[in-house]
Structure 1
Amino acid sequence: MLQGIYIKELKIGEDFLGFILSLRIFAVAIFSIPCAIFVNKYGRKKGIMVALLFVPISGALQGYFQDKWLLSIFAVIQGFSNAFLLVSEGPFLMENSNEKNRLKLFSYAFSDNVFSTMVGYYVFGHISNIFHNFFGIVNALRYSIIISGLIGVIGCVFIIFIEEAKAPVIGENNIFYKKAFSVIKQRHPRNFLVYNFIIGFGAGLVVPYFNVYLKYKVNATTDQIGLILALAMGAMGIGGLITPYMAIKFGKVKTIIICQVISIPFLMLIALPPSLIVVSFALFMRNALMNMAGPIVGNLSMEIIKEGERSIFASINNISGNLSRAVSAVVAGFIMKNFSNGYEIPYFITAILYLAATIYFYKSFSTLELKRKMA
């Protein structure tokens, strides 16, 4: 929440902010396959441990230092570390659940993460605002980022107590890459990668900049931003708990499509009026609707692939979504700095991309759900 504002207050500019965001996301994509190889060899638990140790530490160091090169290096380390979590979490949940409780487990894990993030937004929005009165805006943001990073490391303690199920292990790297090509050749996984690429490109244009948009376009204070984003995350978390019941009634594919289509008008509404109340409401609704299907999307992405190929597919899927996000984050930073109405243009591009991705998703997976019902 605070880093984009921190970089702006350092007078570095939107283009460098876009570069940093892109660098971090690009690192996630590039290192996904090496991380997946590590996780397959040494276990999901170790992958999660690496992520929960180095993601917050590298985040805190990005708050401590102000040099562009050091910010760039720690952004890469943070992205690299985060790749471990992204290739470990989905397979870990699949391997430690059964068909009956799997969707609920994905939903609870999603909502747990969202609600904790909501608390972080709210608390550190207020903390940074209080620090502002004593240290000035730059140091207030700096100290808040460092403290949040140190708190994040505490999560490592709880990973120690996890007992993980024995997972299928892929030994040699050349076998891993052969299986990766085999996965891409399969129709449903390939279609999912294309869908994720389009969604990722749209998300990269706007999601990393919500905080900057609220601060510099709507003139919100950091405590207001913390409250707004906290409420938006809360809406997402509640939505994540509701979606398993929607999936039972409408099916997984229809639930994803319903949530995404209804979210698009609220996405465009964020960009239209410079009103704090309207933008806050639109952001609240957009976050709830677009992301509440997240547990179902994650569950579906694991269901369309064989058990021994899940980490491979998770890594390829991360590459697909994060490469597109990395490119679009740079594009958005360039648009914001060089175009009149540059803060609003990305929202309309994203709306078009989300609509296209949703139509593609329906055409790709509606028959899959129909076959399951017939079976």
Structure 2
Amino acid sequence: MQFGATPLTPAEESLRAEVRDFLAAELPADHRPALGFAGRYDPDFSRRLAARGWVGMAIPPEYGGHGRSAVERFVVAEELLAAGAPIGAHFVADRQTGPTLLHFGTEEQRRRFLPGIAAGEIYFSLGMSEPDSGSDLASVRTRATRVDGGWTVTGTKVWTSEAHRNHFFAVLCRTSPMEEGRKHAGLSQLIVDLHADGVTISPIPYLDGSHHFNEVALEDVFVPDDMVLGEIGSGWQQVTSELAYERSGPDRWLSTFPVLREFVREGAGKAVADDEATVIGRLAARAWAIRALSLSVARALDAGEVPAIEAALVKEVGTRFEQDLVEALRGAAETEVDQGTGTLLQQLLAEAVLTSPSYTLRGGTTEILRSVAAKGLA
């Protein structure tokens, strides 16, 4: 397991300043920050961001993208998340589906989907987790059966963010029976239209009543052969490489950053007790250390590596930090949390208290990630 120290270059710092100027101009004065990439869904904002070249940054120009690096995308994502920008519409397609299509998709698939992703107009969800499989993706029960011209897919996926509003999702399914002792074999990925016949989408609301997660039931959904993503039987290898993008980015440790920033703002100009200063200092130090790990993974991706183990560690320490931050500020704020009224800090803290339990579930549970990381230390 390798994490190299990697400061930003002057050009990357210049990009950061450019994004900050854009956000200052685009976000209204009464902007209420979103918590994380799934916090607000605003297609208009996604398209304005894309018009600046900040969606599909790592997609090559021949497919409508901008041919920029994973680190440059990291810088943009970090600023968007820190500001609580409404990036829920395009984020998964930009972070994960685009690179997957580049690595494993056919030329026809790249031409069909990548320009729309880079324009902030085509949105994808993920179809990995299932009700009975949790983080053990190799145990998925969704099956695809060969038929004339394609496949019929039957099964259920859960925690499918924004499936009720997105266009497609990449479904991990079993295309051949599980072999004894080789449960990772026989898995494939198919691109499924979320509006196809046989697709039923049911909400899984958060405790606060908001709706981002869904259960997606597939009943004999037809998927044509040209929507097979990668090679039949190579789904496990594809998904594990894909997880390096899902688990390592700033979206895994900045979801609750707007709460910390508002806590500091409310205390600006006031005398700060020693215990409050200690809380802020410890949280800031942890955030900076996790950022260094996350940035190191982005550099590795630019070098052509597949840092899946390092990404698992970043996700584990990052999402646990997000939850610890909420609890620390809840104790230090010495104020009632109120989601609907009260100060902005009270509202954000209330939202974070209700939604942060999901952070250590999405993208892999803490226990599974620790197991993956431990294997890298063996």
Q: Report the TM-score, using the length of structure 1 for normalisation.
A: 0.33
Which is richer in helix?
1
Q: Report the TM-score, using the length of structure 2 for normalisation.
A: 0.33
Higher relative contact order (CA 8 A, sep 6+): 1
